[in-house]
Chain A
């Protein structure tokens, strides 16, 4: 039986309406800009394409914020948003950017290392697109992106991803995963070129210490951990011990030599920097959690994950009822955003402190809010109102 043409057109129109409604949301996420009010010590903003011109005009190009004290000292690079679906990483970078004081040395911060990946949501699971942070002057809205580069910018994926230069075979989708494409190559895929440009930044600017901020599911053994390249192991072990004794539980792990493409391995191998990666606990990305809401992203409380924790299946402290105490006596209930941001802040400061002690020739003096500050006042306290700030200090990402 032949169906009437008007019915086919009707279905097409209805699907078109759904397509437009969905498309508007996708378009808004792709083009939404986050604002940041940089601190008074900010000196310059450049683009990553300065280190690899072929990135210019692509969604792989991303801003680099520079804070140069003008006083001789070491240099530091911080990456937030290598995996944008781990949003405490970019938020921690923003808190640093808005409050940092640099009295010696030079600091480079890239809040969205994979800008392209921050412009789409995760497939499946009804992931949220944005999250909001309460401040003293109102709400700030931030994107929650994907793990890998947007397929609109890098497509198709191969059947097998052969990592360059190791030739190790990796999962096909990891060709769009910035933390599997280091050290990259200048004539590779978009993600490989982003990696290469970051490597060029590290090599050309003689970056002394490199931090790659991440978040991990609680059922992943490397959660709440520093992962350190060989040369940074002393720093990471001392920093982890100090943090565990004085602030929050932190582990330290050596970067595996047979797992290629990750920053803590390749950045250390292909430059002289001290490479560290940090993982905080993000309940939102655990496979067993229930409804994936903004509340789960910000508070990290999930009853299914609680059951997993009670069965000994998670690799860090987790309790959604009474919480667990940190070294300062705070009761941590779930995995709140402030806890995760604070971990990155103090994790950076503590490692920097130990670099200064182990390598006095690379010493630098930097201050910004730490774990105690953020746990006391909240992350939003340290985010400034763009409408009242000097316009020359307001940027969009």
Chain B
């Protein structure tokens, strides 16, 4: 049972990472604050970290 719960929590974190990747993607295109070009670069770059984790690469 504990192993099962541990597995659920483990995968939940992957789902959560996917959610944040989508959130970051949305904010890349639509955001109210910090609209400078540098923030576009930061958003684009940071999204990759989340994507690599979601697809089980890193």
In the complex, are the beta carbons of A26 and B35 less than 8 A apart? no
Does A126 lie at the interface of the complex (its beta carbon under 8 Å from any beta carbon of B)?
Answer: no
Kindly provide the distance from the CB of B25 to the nearest chain A CB, expressed in whole angstroms: 8
The B13-58 residues at the A interface (CB cut-off 8 A) are: 13, 28-29, 35-37, 40-41, 43-45, 47-48, 51-53, 55-58
**Given contacts A12-B47, A14-B44, A15-B45, A187 and B28 within 8 Å (CB-CB):** no
The A1-58 residues at the B interface (CB cut-off 8 A) are: 1-3, 5, 7-8, 11-12, 14-16, 18-19, 22-23, 26-27, 30, 54
Query: Which residue, A8, A16, A193, has most C-beta atoms of chain B within 10 A?
Result: A8
In the complex, are the beta carbons of B29 and A5 less than 8 A apart? yes
In the complex, are the beta carbons of A8 and B13 less than 8 A apart? no
Cβ-neighbour of B3 out of A19, A27, A30, A54 (below 8 A): A54
> In the complex, A120→B6 CA distance in Å?
22
User: Quick one: closest A residue to B41, CB to CB?
Assistant: A11
> In the complex, A138→B57 CA distance in Å?
30
> In the complex, A190→B7 CA distance in Å?
10
Kindly provide the distance from the CB of B29 to the nearest chain A CB, expressed in whole angstroms: 6
In the complex, are the beta carbons of B28 and A188 less than 8 A apart? no
User: Quick one: closest B residue to A23, CB to CB?
Assistant: B57
**Given contacts A8-B40, A155-B13, A19 and B2 within 8 Å (CB-CB):** no
Does B1 lie at the interface of the complex (its beta carbon under 8 Å from any beta carbon of A)?
Answer: yes
In the complex, are the beta carbons of A15 and B52 less than 8 A apart? no
Does A152 lie at the interface of the complex (its beta carbon under 8 Å from any beta carbon of B)?
Answer: yes
In the complex, are the beta carbons of A188 and B29 less than 8 A apart? no
User: Quick one: closest A residue to B2, CB to CB?
Assistant: A187
Does A154 lie at the interface of the complex (its beta carbon under 8 Å from any beta carbon of B)?
Answer: yes
Using Cβ atoms and an 8 Å threshold, which residues of chain A touch B40? 3, 7-8, 11
User: Quick one: closest A residue to B28, CB to CB?
Assistant: A8
In the complex, are the beta carbons of A8 and B57 less than 8 A apart? no
> In the complex, A266→B53 CA distance in Å?
34
Question: Could you tell me how many residues of chain B have their Cβ less than 8 Å away from some Cβ of chain A?
Answer: 26
Kindly provide the distance from the CB of B22 to the nearest chain A CB, expressed in whole angstroms: 13
Using Cβ atoms and an 8 Å threshold, which residues of chain A touch B44? 8, 11-12, 14-15
Question: Could you tell me how many residues of chain A have their Cβ less than 8 Å away from some Cβ of chain B?
Answer: 29
Does A189 lie at the interface of the complex (its beta carbon under 8 Å from any beta carbon of B)?
Answer: yes
Using Cβ atoms and an 8 Å threshold, which residues of chain A touch B43? 11
In the complex, are the beta carbons of B48 and A8 less than 8 A apart? no
Kindly provide the distance from the CB of B1 to the nearest chain A CB, expressed in whole angstroms: 7
Using Cβ atoms and an 8 Å threshold, which residues of chain A touch B56? 152
Cβ-neighbour of A26 out of B1, B10, B47, B57 (below 8 A): B57
Using Cβ atoms and an 8 Å threshold, which residues of chain B touch A190? 6
Does A156 lie at the interface of the complex (its beta carbon under 8 Å from any beta carbon of B)?
Answer: yes
**Given contacts A3-B40, A120-B58, A15 and B47 within 8 Å (CB-CB):** yes
In the complex, are the beta carbons of B58 and A154 less than 8 A apart? no
Using Cβ atoms and an 8 Å threshold, which residues of chain B touch A187? 1-3
User: Quick one: closest A residue to B42, CB to CB?
Assistant: A11
User: Quick one: closest B residue to A1, CB to CB?
Assistant: B35
In the complex, are the beta carbons of B10 and A8 less than 8 A apart? no
User: Quick one: closest A residue to B29, CB to CB?
Assistant: A8
Kindly provide the distance from the CB of A194 to the nearest chain B CB, expressed in whole angstroms: 13
In the complex, are the beta carbons of B58 and A152 less than 8 A apart? yes
User: Quick one: closest B residue to A152, CB to CB?
Assistant: B56
In the complex, are the beta carbons of B35 and A12 less than 8 A apart? no
Using Cβ atoms and an 8 Å threshold, which residues of chain A touch B55? 23
A-B contact pairs, 14 of them (CB 8 A): A1-B35, A3-B35, A3-B37, A11-B41, A14-B44, A22-B52, A22-B58, A23-B52, A26-B58, A54-B3, A120-B58, A152-B53, A188-B6, A189-B6
Q: For the A-B complex with A15-B48, A54-B3, A152-B58 known, give 18 more contacts whose Cβ atoms are closer than 8 Å.
A: A3-B35, A8-B28, A8-B29, A8-B44, A11-B41, A11-B44, A14-B44, A15-B47, A16-B48, A18-B48, A19-B51, A19-B52, A22-B58, A23-B55, A187-B2, A188-B2, A188-B6, A189-B6
Task: Report, nearest first, the 8 A-B pairs whose CB atoms are least far apart.
Answer: A19-B48, A11-B44, A187-B2, A15-B44, A23-B57, A26-B58, A12-B44, A15-B45
